[in-house]
């Protein structure tokens, strides 16, 4: 009897491993959607790891877009239980860092101007300061969402120009998803303001949001069908 129980226990464990995509294939068991995300602590650790990698790349400020793009691609591979070696993250960085400056430099300049407006509005130096502050914060949020969506669309084969062009269409196709990504951007800003080192976790969560939001939409559409 003990042998039978051990066999059953081993079979159940093998089925769990197969369904997660982490173990060998078991007859009649197919990996679920995003099998790499079934290990919650593993996913959390990967989010922190890639958040640290993205933070290192983003220290140049204008390199934030490629940091996000490489991190998002890394997390996509991880949740799909594909090859998610750190070396592939660095390959994406090398492939896209120079072209990404065409996005990173204008984004940094716009963010600087909007930040100055918000600071001046808060100081009372500008007439209609409250309205200017609202416009400034809204502009910063819209910029953050645009950069996240462009980074999510980027690939070495697609390039940055087409990734940026895809942003308006992505927002029109899934306005609710864009709102979720905006919430992730706000979360990153709030935790960073509270404690600067939390930027690592915040940017990792923002990258994960870009990965997860399209999956939510695909599941909804498949359910409707």
Q: Answer yes or no: is pLDDT of 211 > 60.
A: yes
Kindly give the residue spans of alpha helices, DSSP state H, lying in the chain.
2-20, 40-58, 64-79, 86-123, 129-153, 160-173, 175-194, 199-224
Q: For the segment 120-176, what is each residue's pLDDT rounded down to a tens digit?
A: 877 776 677 788 888 899 999 999 999 999 999 999 999 999 999 999 999 999 999
What per-residue confidence (pLDDT) applies to 22? 47
Q: What is the pLDDT of residue 35?
A: 55
């Amino acid at each position: 009897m003990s042998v039978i129980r051990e066999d059953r226990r081993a079979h159940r464990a093998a089925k769990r491993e197969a369904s997660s995509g982490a173990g060998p294939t078991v007859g009649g068991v197919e990996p679920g959607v995003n099998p790499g995300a079934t290990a919650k602590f593993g996913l959390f650790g990967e989010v922190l790891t890639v958040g640290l990698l993205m933070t290192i790349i983003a220290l140049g400020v204008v390199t934030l877009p490629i940091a996000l793009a490489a991190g998002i691609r890394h997390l996509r591979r991880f949740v799909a239980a594909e090859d998610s070696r750190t070396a592939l993250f660095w390959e994406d960085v090398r492939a896209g860092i120079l072209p990404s400056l065409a996005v990173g430099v204008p984004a940094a300049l716009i963010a600087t101007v909007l930040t100055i407006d918000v600071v001046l509005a808060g100081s009372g130096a500008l007439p209609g300061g409250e309205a200017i502050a609202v416009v400034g914060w809204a502009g910063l949020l819209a910029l953050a969402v645009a950069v996240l969506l462009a980074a999510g669309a980027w690939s070495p084969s697609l390039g940055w120009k087409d990734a940026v062009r895809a942003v308006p269409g992505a927002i029109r196709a899934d306005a609710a998803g864009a709102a979720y990504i905006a919430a992730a951007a706000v979360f990153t800003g709030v935790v960073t303001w509270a404690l600067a080192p939390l930027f690592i976790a915040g940017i990792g969560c923002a990258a994960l949001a870009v990965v997860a939001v399209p999956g939510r939409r695909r599941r909804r559409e498949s359910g409707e069908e």
